[in-house]
Amino acid sequence: MSSARPSAPPAVLWISRKLEEAGYETWAVGGAVRDALLRRPSGDWDMATRARPEQVEKLFRRTVPIGVEHGTVGVLARDGIMYELTTFRKDVETDGRHAVVAFADRVEDDLARRDFTINAIAWHPLREQLLDPFGGAADLEAGVLRTVGSAGDRIAEDYLRILRAFRFAGRFGLQIAHETWSAICGSVAHLASLSPERVREELIKVLEVDAKPSVALGLYASSGALAVLYPEFSASPAAADPRDAWGETLAAVDHLQRGRPHMRLAQLLWGLEPTAVVLILTRLRFSNAQVDEVARRAGAREMPPADGTDESFRRWLSTTGPERLAAVARLSLARARATGAAAATADPVGAGDEDGCAGVVASWRRARAVLASGAALSVGALALNGRDLIGMGLRPGPNFGHILDDLLDYVLADPARNRPELLASRVQEFVENADG
């Protein structure tokens, strides 16, 4: 790793050269530098400069005031990509949630305010010089995550750094240094002071990008952060299970594809009480649509067995929602794979057993076949609707919902019953029974 060096794209060289020629020292900082040292594809190239925001805006024709009050200006380069330039900064005051910063003239001051040594490395694109005052490259080489300076002080400056530590440790396969881990464990109670949006974004970043979210999420549990942020897991019925329910949940999350964080989130929440799921999602301020969809996926029952009746599949599809078949089936398949992997570890002789996965796939095929049959699975697919009920002389009201639900139940038992005359007769029976 020591021989790895960043290779800045041409736009970064162009921006750096223009700033340096104007007398403003400029360095590439952040994730792109760290990722290059890890020999990973570099993401966004962010730069830190001695130039103030107004000076950057004068130098470049196309700029975006991303956060001028914080010193950040976006420069739209010739390659069509926007690069963020932030004036060197230093902390003046912190309260665990927010920092008051001031502009600085030295890149060293800017690096000194960063969270972990692996993120406090700068690269000069023109001189091809690595500036690493806190030994971040050596920590990457050793596979260690540690804070810049005093761990207690650095964590207390912004408690979100606890969650960032979990994310970096999980994503890059790093062991958290003892002093840093002690500071984290001693500070988890303060996570309750963070805004829900910041907590949510850290969770989503883990679920979206990490190949194995179980590593970072496992640190949530072992540090005590899980109990502070998501106490519903401790209160769930699964918590009393002598098996490692949390470990099984994380294994299932690992078996889902990256890039679909809400799918992984549904798996993470699977098995919790529906009210607990909604409480967590609402507390994290997901949109109403996201709360509804994730909660429905997390609360979906397992598909009927492949040798079940068509009626059992129709009723399952009606309750779950046909549009969720693929998503719920993938969640079930992930759980089956996780269970199979655990069984193989416990009993190497049966390591090739794929019965659980095969059963899920067979049920999925049956469900798709039932869905393709065109059977009515919702009130909206019935051959009789509210206007028809009015035409029969019935007065609109709450009872309409009960009547239509009864008709759907009637049709789910036998799709051939979805005929106007049969449904009208069923309505008449329903009304007579209700009057009686």
157, 99 contact by CB (below 8 A)? yes
Question: Could you tell me the strand order of the sheet in which 72-76 lies?
Answer: 63-67, 72-76, 82-87, 46-49, 26-29, 122-124, 129-131
239, 287 contact by CB (below 8 A)? no
400 has pLDDT over 90: yes
Residue reference for tokens 């040594």: 117
Q: How far apart are CA 436 and CA 422, in angstroms?
A: 21
Q: How far apart are CA 288 and CA 265, in angstroms?
A: 15
Quick one: which H or E segment has residue 246? helix 245-254
pLDDT tens readout for residues 156-198: 999 999 999 999 999 999 999 999 999 999 999 999 999 999 9
Q: Where are the alpha helices (DSSP H) in 309-435?
A: 310-320, 325-346, 355-372, 386-391, 398-413, 420-435
State percent of the chain over pLDDT 90: 82
Residue reference for tokens 């009547």: 403
Classify strands 175-176 and 144-145 as parallel, antiparallel or unpaired. Answer: parallel
User: In this structure, which amino acid lies at residue 108?
Assistant: E
Question: Whole-prediction pTM value?
Answer: 0.90
Residue reference for tokens 């969640």: 331
Q: How far apart are CA 332 and CA 306, in angstroms?
A: 13
Quick one: which H or E segment has residue 106? none
pLDDT tens readout for residues 53-103: 999 999 999 999 998 888 999 999 988 899 999 999 987 666 555 566 789
pLDDT tens readout for residues 167-178: 999 999 999 999
Rounded mean pLDDT, 396-407: 93
Residue 349: count other Cβ atoms within 10 Å of its Cβ.
Answer: 7
Per the rule left: phi > 0, alpha: psi between -120 and 50, beta: everything else, 376 is: beta
Residue 238: count other Cβ atoms within 10 Å of its Cβ.
Answer: 15
- The mean pLDDT value of the chain amounts to 92
Which of 73, 97, 108 has the alpha carbon at shortest distance from 87? 73
189, 225 contact by CB (below 8 A)? no
pLDDT tens readout for residues 288-307: 999 999 999 999 999 999 99
Give the pLDDT confidence score for residue 68 in this predicted structure.
Answer: 86
Chain Cα centroid distance, residue 122:
29
